Structure formats: C-alpha cells, structure tokens
Structure 1
Amino acid sequence: MKRTLTALAVIIAAAAAGATWYSESSKPQRSGELALEHLSAPVTVRYDERGVPHIQAANEADMYRALGFVHAQDRLFQMEMLRRLARGELAEILGARLVDTDRLFRTLGIRAHADEYARKLDRDSPAAKALLAYLDGVNQFQDSRPAPVEFDLLGIEKRPFTVEDTLSVVGYMAYSFAAAFRTEPVLTYVRDELGADYLKAFDLDWHPEGVVGQPLASTDWQDLNRLAHLSQQALVEAGLPQFEGSNAWAVSGSRTASGKPLLAGDPHIRFAVPAVWYEAQLSYPGFNLYGHHQALNPVASLGHNEQFAWSLTMFQNDDLDLVAEKTNPDNPNQVWYQGRWVDMESREEAIQVKDGEPVRLTLRRSPHGPIINDALGAAAGKTPIAMWWAFLETENPILDAFYQLNRADSLGKARAAAEKIHAPGLNVVWANAGGDIGWWASARLPQRPDGVNPYFILDGSTGEADKPGFQPFSANPQEENPPRGYIVSANYQPQSPTGVAIPGYYNLPDRGQRLDQKLAQPGVKWDLSNSQALQLDPGSGYAPRLLAPILDELRAAATNQEEQQLVERLADWNGDHELDSIPATLFNQLAYELTRVAMQDELGDAFFDSLLQTRVLDVALPRLTADDQSPWWDRRGTAPVESRAEIVKAAWQASLAHLRTTLGADSAKWDWGKAHTLTHNHPLGQQQPLDRLFNVGPFAAPGGHETPNNLSHRVGPAPWQVVYGPSTRRLIDLADGAHGLGINPVGQSGVPFDRHYADQAEAYIKGEYLPMHFNEEEVKANSRETLVLKPAN
C-alpha cells in the first residue's frame, strides 16, 4: 500500500510539474534578449505594471516588426480566431456546428474581397510597409515560440498570417456594424404582413406602394428570419468583439480647467476575453504614440501623444441594402437588371470540417452584390436576396487612413485622414494641444434614388436598388471648433451640412442628450476628475420617458400595498442604474414583458426573437407606450380588442411573477447588481468546465442599456448578462498629454494563467482609472521587465 501511495504521489507530482512547465512555457517572454530576423538595430521593449509594452526602435520598420512580435506573444489565439471567423474557416478547428457560420461569412464576400484588395495593394506605400513588417513580427513569434494552449486543445496547425488575413478582419469589423442585415427583414415583415399602422411605432416613413415588387413567399420570410438569426448567432457564438456603439467628446480650452482641449472616449464593443484593444507605446526618432490596436493591425485605432488625441464612435449610417431579385422563369441563374436579363456570377468554395467531409458551396453574385441567402445552402427559398454593401463597393483605403491618423497633428491632416475611411462608417473625434477640436462622420454615403426607403428590402427589378454614386465628403456631418466649445458623439442621428438624408440604424438620442446636457452646463470647467464622473454616469432619461404615459395604468394594476409602493418607486425614479437600485430591476423586466405581451403574438416566436436583437426596438417602446390606440395592444386570436391598460396589467403581473421566481419573494432584495452582471467570455469558455478556466467574472455591474456607462444587456427577462459596454475608457487633457488615464476591461494579455490575463477586471467594474505612461521618466520608473529584440545576423 505504501509503495502504491508513493507511486501515486510521484505521478501526481510529475503531472503537476508538467502542467506548470507547460503553462509557463506558453506565457509571454517579457525580459531578457531574443533574436529577430530582419531588424536593422536592437529594439527595447519595456513592460509596465499592467503589461503594456513601450517600444523604442531606431526606425519605423523595426518598430512595427517588434510590435507584431509582442502583440502575438499576448494575443496569437485572438488573431487566429478573428481571421478564421472573417474568412469562414472556424469549422476546420471547431467542427460541423460552425459550418453555418463559415457559410455565412463566405457568402458575405469578405474573403474574396480581401484577396482581391490584397492583390491590388501598393506594397510600397507607407501603410503597406508597416503592415508587412508587423506581420513578419507576428509570424516570427509564431515560428519560434510555443503555441498557445488553445492551439493544442483545438489541434490548430500554425500557418503564416497574411495581408489577406488582416484585410479580412477589417471586413469582419465592418460587418459587425451592419445592423441592416439583422433589422431590414423584421421591418419589412411588419410592413408587408401586418401593415402601416403597426409600423408607426418604429418611427419610419412608410410607402403604401411597397418596395418589393413581387410578394415574398412564406419560405422567403423564413429564409430572411433565419439569416437575421444566423447573423446574430455568428457574432455571439464566436466569442469575439462586435462593435455596438460608443461615447466620445472633445472640449475646447475655453471650457476646461487647464485651458487646453480635453478628449474623452469609450467605444462600446461586445465584451470578451481577450479584450479587443492591445495597448502599446510606439516610438522611433520623430514619432511617439500611445495607441490601442486591434488584432492583426499595426496602426492604432485609438491613440494619443502630447500633441493630439482621437477617439472613435460608430457612425451607424445604413451602408447595406438587401435587394430581392427577380429571376428569369426560364433560367434561374439570370436576374432582371436595368431592363434586361443578366447572368449572375458564381464561384465554388469548400469549407473544411474537423472530423468531417468538406462542405462544398456555390456562391452567387448579382449586379447588386452577393446572394446572401446562399448562406442557407439547399434550404434557401425561391427569391434570391442580394446584399449591396459599401464595404465591397468602395476603394476604402482604411489602412492608409489610420496610418495618417496616427500622425495627424493638425486639423487639416486629421480631416484628410478621416476622409479616407469609406466603410464601416466611423465618427472620428479629435483634439490637439494647439487648441483645435474636430469631428468627422467618416463614410462614403451612397446616393439613392428619390423616394427609396432603405429600411426595407428593395426591389432589384426596378432602379430603386441602384446606386448612381456617392455623396462628396462635404455632405458628411462634421464640425471643427464649434462656438459652443465642445463636441459630443454618441451614435444618435447626425445632420448633414448640405441637408442630405442619411438613413441609418442609430441609437436612442437619450444617451447623447444626457452627455450634451452635462457638457453644456454653464460655469463648469472640465478636467480629468469630472470627466471620469461623466463617463461613469449610470443614468438615463429613457426609462422615465417610457413609463410616464402608463403610470396611471400601472397604479390601477397594483393589487396590494407592496405593489403600489413598487409603482410609486418607479414613478419617482430618475432612471439611474445604480447597483442597489430596485426600480432599475423592475423597469427592465417590465420593458421586456411589455414587448412580449404586446408584440410576440403578431410576430411569432422567430421574428419576435429577431426584433429583440435590433436597435429599432429601443425607439419603438416609448412610442408604443405613448400611443394608446396602437394596434399592437390588441392580442391576436382573442375575440375582444384588448386595450393598453389590459396589456400593461398583464405585463406588470408577469414581471412580478418572474422576479419573485428568479430573485426571491422579497422585493427589497431585487437589487440591480444581483440581476445585472458582467462575465468576460473566452471562445473556449462556452463549455463547462472550460468556463472556469478561461472566463473572467461574474461581476455585479452598474449602468445599463443606453446610459453613459453603457454596460448594456439585451432586452429580455431577468437575470441580465451584460453583453457590451466601454471597451476602454480614455481621458486625455492636452495640457498634459503625457498623463492620460485609461483602463482595460480584463487585462492586456490573452494568455490564460498569465498575470496580466485579468488583472484590471475588478478595477474596471469599480470605475477606476489607471495611468497610461508616456514620458521617458515615468516609463522608466514604472517598467517591471525589459525585453531586448536584437538583429539575428
């Protein structure tokens, strides 16, 4: 027995030692020396207390090559997953359940477009040289260092990262903005199947003549809803960043305590681990920038130095149209286009499937764009639906744009860089130490025929789906040094200086209005402290606006003193979503139940689920509660015509029943922080027990849907999982740009078990800020480790 126990102890000890060695071998090397090919001189990489690299190089090429190497050390698996998602290659490592996702992304044309773009790329341009040097650094790390643990778990074989991969990831990011893909099917269904009176709640212009010339069959409606659902699930199940919204503002020196402009920014992106941004300070003689980088991109998407700073928000213009094509009865591969039958293009591709046979697919394209219901394979209905997407139809020199923006120290340079962003639409909010502030809504805005409403599926057999050209950049919303002394960007609908209509799937105005009201306060001088409070503001006027028309009906629905008190708490509530707020919990459950009881019977389960994923629902709910004559209040299939009061009563009762079941019978314990939590999910953390190894959280989360602290959840029943929110919070006062503040939602490293994997998660949820070290003295004082990359020959 003793010998057996001794042997078992030896085996366990050996296994533990092996696991420790294996875990340690895959962690980033942040100290010592390493040889790197193609360097012209040594590069010093100093890591601070958060694991942020501060790179000092002798020249630009060495700097970007070193960035590629250290970025891959921390984020190689994220890079791998993003390129596989964008290029439709996830099934090769995750199996047959990802075939539908791969088929969707192949159908979107991102892969083919990236390959063609790469073929035409001027490899001698500064941006292309930066990218090639960066990718060389990524590949040198991959070739010389142990694979991440996820590679071994999934059996991923290493292969070089390419220009095509980077451009494909840019396409994925653009697609994640494209709300039209998930919104137009449900709006068209409401219009064509329910009618104009039902559409009024969505605040859209309605055309009685319709836009689809031939009626869609029931199978076509099923297709469209399946596509909307597939589109949403593809983004959710991949566990990768999806861009959702954002806040940014710039305040001129006349309204700041320092007398210089101040920039604040917090882009709202789906939470995941690793976090979306990789922070790094890059420098060589004549260049110094602290930047936030996306995977496989050498140039910073957000950045600052002592001279200038910028942030981004989503423009959310509608740059994607769905087009129903009319096919030739004698030749299903022809569509009617500009007065004649035109052949559709087609190509064959194969999806490799782990432990399965390859899936072959035929991808078609009409003159309007890819036929997106080819994503459904053999199950597709009879009407081809094409996708016109600005990302596929513009020159879009976005790498050049951000390369220049990384160096834009003047208003003119920033404007010229912003003009090169064609798709996705982005708001660039910028400031410099010279006193300028600016905002440019950057996108190529398509010209559409008069009277065409792109919120609905268009008829490809007429000219309404055609795009005669694009608007000039001067038509884009923009401001430079406005007299009011500040600029706010928060995803609400902007106005063109030329009066051009700019359709889009914009967020509620409430968040932007709240920020504007705060920034407009007379006598307030803005600094880093009160700017933090504004970024962390958990309030919104949305809830009181939605509740006001139905408060008397809620009072009538209350059946006892406890319920009456709960109604009065809602009536007195200011909309703040603090951790201890009970009204916040009650309101969010009630908003869902109102939506469910009023709308699910008309839409059916599938389209109702799609509606819950759209931004148009946010607009619809306050309009619905304010209209007691809306047909949505009547329940289908019942003889009497129900009133708003009856539906409000049913929603109230359902809300209380659900909260009592979920959170307990005592309403005094329905705190928002107990029902509203944030977990950062890793792509492998969707399965137990891997969730315990890879996921980070849960954390009780303040804020809520469309508050400035936009820790947002989807409309649904309690409890609520935060889906997206500030992907970083940044504050830079350009009187002292070397002392900006920021935070990462999880950690700088994407390597499990590394000390920087989740070391900022608690500080983030508490609303803390950490310094972004910039000047030489502070970088030196806060360096914890130093890695020197030396030329290999």
Structure 2
Amino acid sequence: MKRSLTVLAVLIAAAAAGGAWYLHGKQPQRSGEITLGHLQQPVSVRYDDRGVPHIQAGNQQDMYRVLGYVQAQDRLFQMEIMRRLARGELAEVLGPKLVPTDTLLRSLRIREQADVYVARQDKQSPAWQALQAYLDGINQYQATHPRPIEFDVLGIKPRPFTAQDTFSVAGYMAYSFAAAFRTEPLLTYVRDQLGPDYLKIFDIAWHPQGVLPLAEDDWKSLNSVARLSQHALEQAGLPQFEGSNAWVISGARTASGKPILAGDPHIRFSVPAVWYEAQLSAPGFQLYGYHQPLNPFAALGQNMDFGWSLTMFQNDDLDLVAEKVNPANPNQVWYHGQWADMQATTQQIAVKGEPPVTLTLRRSPHGPIINDVLGKVAPSTPIAMWWSFLESENPILQGFYEINRADTLDKMRNAAAKVQSPGLNLVWANARGDIGWWAAAQLPIRPDGVQPMFILDGSGPDADKLGFYPFSTNPHEENPARGFIVSANFQPLAPTGMAIPGYYNLADRGQQLFSQLNDASVKWTAQNTQALQLGTRTGYAQRVLTPLLPVLRQVVTDPGEKALVEQLAQWKGDYPLDSTSATLFNEFLYDLTYAAMHDELGNAMFETLLSTRDLDSALPRLAADPDSPWWDDRSSPPHEGRAEIVRMAWRTTLEHLRSALGNDPAQWQWGKAHTLTHEHPLGMQQPLDRLFNVGPFAAPGSHEVPNNQSAKLGPAPWKVSYGPSTRRIIDFADPAHALTINPVGQSGVLFDAHYGDQAKDYIEGKYRQVLMQEGDVAKGTVSTLNVVPGP
C-alpha cells in the first residue's frame, strides 16, 4: 500500500508539474527581452499594475507592430473568435450548432465586402501601412508561441490574420447595431396582422396599404430570421453594441475652467473585456487608447491635448425589402418596371466532425436575400436587405487613423465625415477649451413618405435610395452656448430639421443626464462626474406606474399587498442594491407585458418583442391608454380591460417573487435578483463556466439608467447582459490623471493575474488612474519588456 501511495503521489506531482508547465507556456511575457522581425529600432514596453502596456518606439511603424504583438499575447483567442464570427466560420471549430449563425453572417455579405474594402485602400497610405505592421506583429506572435488554451480545447489551427479579417470584424460591429432585423418584422406584423389600433402604442404613423401580401409561413420565417439574428449575437458570448453615454462640459461649467469629457459605451459584457488599453508613444505621436480586436487605431482615446468618446447613433441604415417574384421564373423579381434576375453564388461552410454544408446565397437588385438562411423552410417571398455598410465608400480605416490625431475642431470634423457605417456619435474635447459632437454616418435619401421601420415593397419605388445626404446635414454641435453636450442614443435633431429614421433608445436616460448637467449652480469636477456616471435613476418607472397606481389601488385588496402598492408609489425609480421596490417593479413590468401582449403575438413573436427597443417606448403608452386593444386577452372569451390585466399581472408577480426569492418581501433586494457574470465563449457551457467566467456580482443600476446594467425583461432573477464597457472621465486641466476602469481585466489569458483583477472594483463603482506622464509611467512600471530587432 505504501508503494502504491508513493506511486500515486509521484503521478499526482508529475501531473501537477506538467499542468503548471503547460499553463506557464500560455502566459504573456511582460519582462525580459524578445526579438521581433521587421523592427527598425528597439522598442520599450512598460507594464503597469493593471497589465496595460506603455509602448515607446522610435517610429510609428515599430509602435504599431509591437502593439499587435503585445495585444496578441493577451487577446489572441478573442481575435480568432471575432474573425470567425464575422466571417461565418464558427461551425468549423464549434460544431453543427453554429451552422445557422455562420449561414446568417455569410448572408450579410460581410466577407465579400471586406474584400471590396481592402481593394479600395491606398496601399501607400500611413493608415494602411500601420494596419500591415500591426497585423505582422500579431502574426509573428502567433507563429512563435504556444497556442492559447482555447485553441487546444477547440482544435483551432492557427492561420495568419489579414486586413480582410480587420474589415470583417468592422462589419460584424456594424451588424450588431442593426436593430432592423428584429424590429421591422415585428412592427410590420403588428400593422398588417393585428391592425392600426395595436400599432398606436409604438407611436408610428400608420401605413394602410401595407407591403406585398405575406402568408402565415412568411411571417413565421421572418420572425425566425429575427430571432436567429438576436441569438447569433447573444450566444456567441462576444461583444455586441447596445447603447452608450457620453457628455462633454465646457470650461465655463467646470471647477477647473477646462473641459471635462466622460464616456461609457454600453456593450455586451464578455471575457475578455471589449477594450484593450495601451499607451502608444513615438516621435510626433502620443495616445492612450482603447482598442478593439484586429484594429490598430483606438476607438476611444486621449492624450494631453484632446480626447473623445463615442455612442451608437442608432440611425436606421438597414432596410428589409419584400420582393415580388415572377410566377414564371422564381429567380426573377420585379424591379423598376421589369423582371430582373437574382444573382446566386455558392459557398461551403466547414463543420467540425461533419461534412461541409453547401450554402446558396442569392442577391436581388435591392441587396442580399436574407431569409434564404432558413434553407428548405424559407418562404416563397424573398426578403432582401439594403445595408449602408455594403453600399457606402466608408473609408473608416482612414477616418479612425485621423481621429487618433485630431486635436482641433476642423480635424475632428473632417475625420468624422469618413466614418459612414456603422453610425457613431463622436463626442470630443481639447485642452484649448473646444467641445464638439458629430453624428457620423452616411444617411440615405429615401423617397418622400417612406416609413423604413416597416418591410418595404420592392415592386415599387419605396425601396429605392436616391443617394446620400452630405455630412454637413448630419446632427452636430460645436461649442454650444449652453456649455455642455449630451449623447445618450436618443433621437437627435438635424440642422436642416429633416427626419432621421432610427431605432433610438428612450429619451429618459439622456434627459436625466441633461437635467443634472443643466443645473447652473453646479461646477463640475471629476468627482461629481463620477456620481453622474454611476447614477441608477431615471423617470421611466414613474412614467409607467403613474397611470397604473390608481388601478392597482382599486384591484388590490389584501392589506399586506396594499402596503407593497404604496411602497411602489413612494419609490423614486432608482436601482441600488438594497432596493426591494426595484425588484417588485421589474417583475411586475414583465408580467404586465406578458399578460397584455403575449396572446396577440404568440411565443416566438413575443420573444422578438422583448429584444427590441420599441418595447421600452410602448409600455408607458400602453399603461396610459385604458382603451388599448392590447388589454383584451384573446385567449379567453370575456372581454378584459386594463384593470383585469393589471390584477392578473400583480397576482403573477407576487407568486413568482415568493417562489424565487422567498415569502418575505423585505428579502427581495435588487442585488439578490440582479447579477452580473462576465461570460467567456467557452464559459457558455457547464462545467467550463466555473473555469472561464468571472462572477457573479450583485449589480446596481438597470436598463436605461445612466449606470446601464441591463438585463432582458423577463421573470426574476435577472442576468445582466450589457452595460458600461469602460468608464472614463478626463478633466483637461489635468488630463494626465484621467480616470478609467475595465469591467473585468486587461488580459484574456486564463490564470493570468490580469484576467479578472478589476471586476470587483468595477461593479463597486471604483476608478483607476490612467498613467500617461513619463514620471507616472516610470513610477507605476511593474515590469518592462524590451523588444529588439530580429531576423
């Protein structure tokens, strides 16, 4: 037995040693010396205590090459999985379940458009040369180091990264903005199947003639595409842009006399985190930037002279078009008064463990046919997609190269004009005192009277585009007299007064920020700006509750329950961790929505409704309209009204909360029911979730408050899916000591010290100081990696 125990101990020790050796080989190297080919001069990379690299190079080509190398050390799997998602190549490593996602992403033609964008590039431009150097750094790292753990688990074979991958990821980001996939089928269904009275709560002008007649199978297929679109974003465990806050305050309104810039883009939480922070330094160039995978140019950034943040414009840059098919030829559609052929191409999707899947992609004169993704069950009515990402010149690479260097209003305005798709609000300030905002997008000119929030009729002129508006007509502000600018995804006003169709967020979040910034008695500092950024209240809950409270007081008779109603009446609509009213309201909001709307929509279309922004705007209108037809439950013979539906929803709410959180309402705290777990793509499956995910954490805030920790509307408990992907505050009186925080950590390498080292501080609303000045960087350096020219 002793010998057996000795042998077992030796085997365990050997396994432990082998595991340690294996894991050690996967870790980033942040000290010592390495060689890197194609460098002109040595480069110094100093790492601070958050794992942020501070790269000091003798020229910008070396700077970008080393950025690619060190980012690959921390984020190679993120780069790989992002390009596979964008290019429709996930099934090759994740198996047949991902074939529908790959089919959808390929149907968007992102792969082909990436080729077009690459062909357009000026190969001698500094932007293109910087991209090539950056990709070379990534590829040199990949070629000389062990594969990430995720590559081993999934059997991924490394292959070089290309500019086509960079532009494909940009296309995926643009697609993740495209709410039209989810919203247009829903709203068209409500209009054409339920009628104009049901559409009123969405506040959209009724278009009585509708589009081409669609059969029941067509509606089912369109909703399937809508749900597939949403699931492709949710189930990949990868970043998806959802909304954002950004504001800038002029020196006249600040304590320091210089502008303050704040920003927190709202993106789906993930491991690794969305942004990769790095300070880049070379003669004539300094920037502390926040980088996306496979893009050398910062999407957010600052230096001592200027800085910027961004939010999603939410403009409608994608139209769905119902085609009229030639009865004598199913490959022709009616276009501009004659039958036009649809183009067809085939591709093969590699599938792990199975034969390749052959995919036929069709395209009409209006754009790619998107409901072909359903294969044999696709309907007879082809639905085409017009998308500005496929139609505009979109010199976005050059645009962000210039944004990274834009220290004046003129430079920033000119750079913003080059960002055409996706639509972004760029909010900017400089140390001289200028502030500005530009809605950057190329806005299509649609025929008069066309409502693009519905599926358009391809047999007539409604689906035509008459060109694009000039950038000068886009919404923008430069040094406004009020002394501040707020961008929070609400519908903006154009200088010409023209309508800009879009899938905008509620105005409540922006109104909350605007009202606080508009208080002339406040002089803003970095400290009170933090409180504004971490706010957990808007007026939305009161807008929903105010017309319903008299109804609740009428239908609720139990004394204990009446006390809960009065508790809601006194609630201010805020979402701290200890609030029980927040929990009660959130559950009631879902149960009310289900009781009022599920019977009209059915399971599938109701799930689509829950994924749209239009639901947020519809619920206050529904609550305030006692005569809305939505109040009648179609599944029961008697005609119900608002009071009966409110009674049913209230009863369901209390039953569910007692079942989920206990019988004592005092225990229904928001922090127990509302939690955040940062999910890794491999952590979507048990038991890998325990290894790769970070969390859970009790999460303050909620949907559409400044601290926008959002969960899908549904029954408690709630898992937060998206929120501030970073928080940044820059006082240009002292830009070297700007504040920031990463939701998880800088590194995406499992077991690395920086894998999740900021997650607790983030959820608690803490900030870290950016290191930019030489003295601060030197003092804060934890380790130094010297990169020298090699063969």
Whether these two folds match at TM > 0.5 is yes
1:550-605 Cα offsets, whole Å, 9 max, x none, are: 10111223232221111111101110101000110000001101100000000011
**Corresponding residue for 2:194?**
194
Q: CA deviation at 1:117?
A: 1.7
Q: After superposition, where does 1:114-513 map in structure 2 within 5 Å? A: 114-210=114-210, 212=211, 214-513=212-511
Find the aligned partners of 2:7 and 2:121 in 1 and give their Cα distance: 62
Q: CA deviation at 1:637?
A: 3.3
2:640 matched to 1:642? yes
**Corresponding residue for 1:570?**
568
Q: CA deviation at 1:485?
A: 0.1
In structure 1, what residue type is equivalent to 2:666?
A: A
Q: CA deviation at 1:500?
A: 1.1
Q: CA deviation at 1:451?
A: 0.7
In structure 1, what residue type is equivalent to 2:601?
A: L
In structure 2, what residue type is equivalent to 1:91?
A: A
In structure 1, what residue type is equivalent to 2:25?
A: S
In structure 1, what residue type is equivalent to 2:690?
A: R
Indicate the SS of the match to 2:55.
strand
Find the aligned partners of 2:559 and 2:779 in 1 and give their Cα distance: 61
Find the aligned partners of 2:581 and 2:525 in 1 and give their Cα distance: 32
Q: Which of 491, 512, 515 lines up with 1:514 in the alignment?
A: 512
Query: Under a length normalisation based on structure 1, what TM-score does the superposition of the two structures give?
Result: 0.99
Contact (CA 8 Å) 1:313, 1:428: kept in 2 or not? yes
**Corresponding residue for 1:701?**
699
Q: CA deviation at 1:724?
A: 0.4
Q: CA deviation at 1:640?
A: 2.1
Find the aligned partners of 1:562 and 1:458 in 2 and give their Cα distance: 52
Deviates more, 1:527-536 or 1:560-569: 560-569
Detail structure 1 runs of 4+ shifted over 4 Å in the superposition: none
Indicate the SS of the match to 1:685.
helix
1:79-127 Cα offsets, whole Å, 9 max, x none, are: 0000000000000000000000000000011011112221232211111
Q: After superposition, where does 1:619-658 map in structure 2 within 5 Å? A: 619-658=617-656
Q: CA deviation at 1:205?
A: 1.0
Find the aligned partners of 1:590 and 1:102 in 2 and give their Cα distance: 37
Q: CA deviation at 1:478?
A: 0.3
Contact (CA 8 Å) 1:250, 1:261: kept in 2 or not? yes
Q: After superposition, where does 1:717-728 map in structure 2 within 5 Å? A: 717-728=715-726
In structure 2, what residue type is equivalent to 1:35?
A: T
1:603-648 Cα offsets, whole Å, 9 max, x none, are: 0110000000000000000000000000000010323211101100
Q: Which of 712, 715, 737 lines up with 1:714 in the alignment?
A: 712
Contact (CA 8 Å) 1:256, 1:262: kept in 2 or not? yes
1:321-358 Cα offsets, whole Å, 9 max, x none, are: 00000111111111110011111111110000000000
Find the aligned partners of 1:791 and 1:56 in 2 and give their Cα distance: 14
In structure 1, what residue type is equivalent to 2:310?
A: L
Find the aligned partners of 1:775 and 1:659 in 2 and give their Cα distance: 52
Query: Under a length normalisation based on structure 2, what TM-score does the superposition of the two structures give?
Result: 1.00
**Corresponding residue for 1:54?**
54
1:41-79 Cα offsets, whole Å, 9 max, x none, are: 000000000000000000010000000000000000000
**Corresponding residue for 2:667?**
669
Find the aligned partners of 2:430 and 2:248 in 1 and give their Cα distance: 10
1:742-779 Cα offsets, whole Å, 9 max, x none, are: 00000000000100000000000000000110000000
Q: After superposition, where does 1:41-80 map in structure 2 within 5 Å? A: 41-80=41-80
Contact (CA 8 Å) 1:275, 1:746: kept in 2 or not? yes
Contact (CA 8 Å) 1:321, 1:454: kept in 2 or not? yes
Find the aligned partners of 2:207 and 2:241 in 1 and give their Cα distance: 31
Q: What is the Cα-based RMSD across aligned positions, in Å?
A: 0.6
2:602 matched to 1:604? yes
In structure 1, what residue type is equivalent to 2:188?
A: T
Q: Equivalent pairs: percent with the same residue?
A: 67
Q: Which of 744, 753, 761 lines up with 1:746 in the alignment?
A: 744
Find the aligned partners of 2:421 and 2:654 in 1 and give their Cα distance: 45
Indicate the SS of the match to 2:543.
helix
1:676-730 Cα offsets, whole Å, 9 max, x none, are: 0000000000111100000000000000010100001111110000010000000
Find the aligned partners of 1:486 and 1:521 in 2 and give their Cα distance: 11
Find the aligned partners of 1:9 and 1:562 in 2 and give their Cα distance: 62
Find the aligned partners of 1:557 and 1:580 in 2 and give their Cα distance: 28
Find the aligned partners of 1:174 and 1:614 in 2 and give their Cα distance: 17
1:443-467 Cα offsets, whole Å, 9 max, x none, are: 0000000111001000000010000
Q: CA deviation at 1:780?
A: 0.4
Find the aligned partners of 1:522 and 1:101 in 2 and give their Cα distance: 51
In structure 1, what residue type is equivalent to 2:576?
A: E
Q: CA deviation at 1:229?
A: 0.5
Find the aligned partners of 1:342 and 1:615 in 2 and give their Cα distance: 36
Indicate the SS of the match to 2:309.
strand
**Corresponding residue for 1:38?**
38
Find the aligned partners of 1:265 and 1:562 in 2 and give their Cα distance: 43
**Corresponding residue for 1:81?**
81
In structure 2, what residue type is equivalent to 1:139?
A: N
1:139-198 Cα offsets, whole Å, 9 max, x none, are: 000001111000000000000000000000000000000001111001100000000000
Indicate the SS of the match to 1:147.
coil
Aligned length: 791
Structure 2 unaligned segments of length 5 or more: list them.
Answer: none
Contact (CA 8 Å) 1:763, 1:769: kept in 2 or not? yes
**Corresponding residue for 2:105?**
105
Structure 1 unaligned segments of length 5 or more: list them.
Answer: none
Find the aligned partners of 1:658 and 1:777 in 2 and give their Cα distance: 57
Indicate the SS of the match to 2:683.
coil
Q: CA deviation at 1:218?
A: 1.0
Contact (CA 8 Å) 1:590, 1:652: kept in 2 or not? yes
Deviates more, 1:11-20 or 1:617-626: 11-20
1:632-668 Cα offsets, whole Å, 9 max, x none, are: 0001032321110110010000000000000001111
Contact (CA 8 Å) 1:265, 1:729: kept in 2 or not? yes
Indicate the SS of the match to 2:265.
strand
Indicate the SS of the match to 2:702.
coil
Find the aligned partners of 2:223 and 2:15 in 1 and give their Cα distance: 50
Find the aligned partners of 2:263 and 2:684 in 1 and give their Cα distance: 30
In structure 2, what residue type is equivalent to 1:459?
A: D
In structure 2, what residue type is equivalent to 1:666?
A: D
Find the aligned partners of 1:464 and 1:125 in 2 and give their Cα distance: 40
Contact (CA 8 Å) 1:557, 1:652: kept in 2 or not? no
Indicate the SS of the match to 2:711.
coil
**Corresponding residue for 1:759?**
757
Find the aligned partners of 1:218 and 1:22 in 2 and give their Cα distance: 56
Find the aligned partners of 2:150 and 2:635 in 1 and give their Cα distance: 52
In structure 2, what residue type is equivalent to 1:62?
A: D
Deviates more, 1:373-382 or 1:33-42: 373-382
Find the aligned partners of 1:21 and 1:757 in 2 and give their Cα distance: 19
In structure 2, what residue type is equivalent to 1:112?
A: E
